[in-house]
Structure 1
């Protein structure tokens, strides 16, 4: 059971959104009239409770959601080299909840050259965790679920729905999603990593038989 496609989320997976979240919470703190450090800690506590921390804070205080500061998004330092290494062995796709123009943003960051397929919620009219967005991606890739891996920071949006589809999964613990508390086997990823660089060890330093890597005692 060899892997053919690696599908990535974008935010907090390929792209570092930490500065963007900081900007959003600074604006929220100003609207609420409380210190940024207090609002940040409240957001982190919501993340630890498996909630979307920044949005939960805004709901708690009844304030409007500040515009997402796309200008604060940055690639992780290892994104380019990791994609380049993985592209030599696998097809690379994106399955992400993103606004219109995802491919253009990937191009501006200089990584679209490594990506064979971009499936974004705004263009498709369906968002993760809806299984239809995974079905669309697998269909366009002409790939069976068991030959694909979903890599993302969100247990609820990336790991759980991909597992239900029959895909293998990697949870990358970056951003607030990395604080998720696993609850039950349906939330257990095949691999857990703390940065993109660890993916090279998993996917490029094996024979490509991912099933044997995950289940070394299986025939």
Structure 2
């Protein structure tokens, strides 16, 4: 880290954008479909299966589609996942549109970091439409770099999306901070590049536990609102 304020990159899903309302809605819709196809599973057992799949990293990039497939394969005969995907995908699309929202304190965090002269960026596996949340809140103007997989066609943890963001920011990795919720797609690739990392654990992916050295974040916070203090600590440790 140099003497200049760092460039702080954020993940979107379950970092700048809270998905808890959507997750609760999805779980209810999915459980109803599973039982409609003969699963006979209650909420408690569904959560146990879902959480085990996430904990054991069986859903790759973390898409809802991958989660549906893995849960179906765990409790239903082969082939049912395709029928359930056809039924649930329109509901997922609508649910994201209606239930995704900015995490509490997002505006405060962005403005506070900006006031401290930190440059801001986004590195996220998302479709471009999620940026409408930042635009509606008038916060998109604070971001110097926006590297979204839907635009650049590269997904984390591929280091290519990080290199693109760093190049656009005109920054070295050691001058940057990565804030995200996932150890495998946010923390590990950023650490490997030499960025300083902050993990936010107000996420379903808090179930993940480090498996290798690169997955240990420099700082861990529960809520997004705690990020400026962690950045302040990073600056003070330069």
Q: TM-score, normalised by structure 2?
A: 0.80
* Gaps in structure 1 of 5+ consecutive residues: 213-219
Q: Distance in 2 between matches of 1:100 and 1:58?
A: 29
In structure 1, how many angstroms separate the alpha carbons of the residues matched to 2:123 and 2:46?
30
1:203 and 2:235 correspond: no
Change (3 A) 1:210 1:47: farther
2:11 to 9, 12, 21: 9
What SS is found at the alignment partner of 1:209? helix
Q: Secondary structure at the match of 2:128?
A: coil
CA contact (8 A) 1:28 1:58 kept: no
Task: Give the secondary structure class of the aligned counterpart of 1:160.
Answer: helix
Give, in whole Å, the separation in 1 of the partners of 2:101 and 2:48. 23
- Return the alpha-carbon distance in structure 2 between the equivalents of residues 173 and 51 of structure 1: 19
RMSD: 2.1
Correspondence for 2:46: 39
Greater Cα radius of gyration, structure 1 or 2: 2
| Alignment partner of 1:135 is 2:163 | yes
Contact 1:50 1:181 in 2 (8 A): no
Deviates more, 1:44-53 or 1:185-194: 44-53
Aligned to 2:175: 147
Per-residue displacement from partner, 1:8-49 (whole Å, max 9, x unpaired)? 000100111011112222221112103344322321233333
Alpha-carbon shift at residue 140 of structure 1 (Å): 0.6
Name the SS for the 2:8 alignment partner: strand
Q: Map Cα deviations across residues 82-106 of structure 1 (whole Å, 9 max, x no partner).
A: 1110111201100000113343332
- Bigger fraction of residues in helix: 2
**Which runs of structure 2 are paired with 1:86-97 in the superposition (5 Å)?**
86-89=113-116, 90-97=118-125
Indicate conservation of the 8 Å contact 2:125/2:150, yes or no.
yes
Give 1:215's aligned residue: none
User: What TM-score results when the alignment is normalised by the length of structure 1?
Assistant: 0.86
1:82 to 98, 109, 126: 109
- My pick for the range that moved more, 75-84 or 126-135, is 75-84
Residues of 2 paired with 1:79 and 1:136: CA distance? 24
Give, in whole Å, the separation in 2 of the partners of 1:210 and 1:58. 49
State the distance in 2 between where 1:161 and 1:210 align: 24
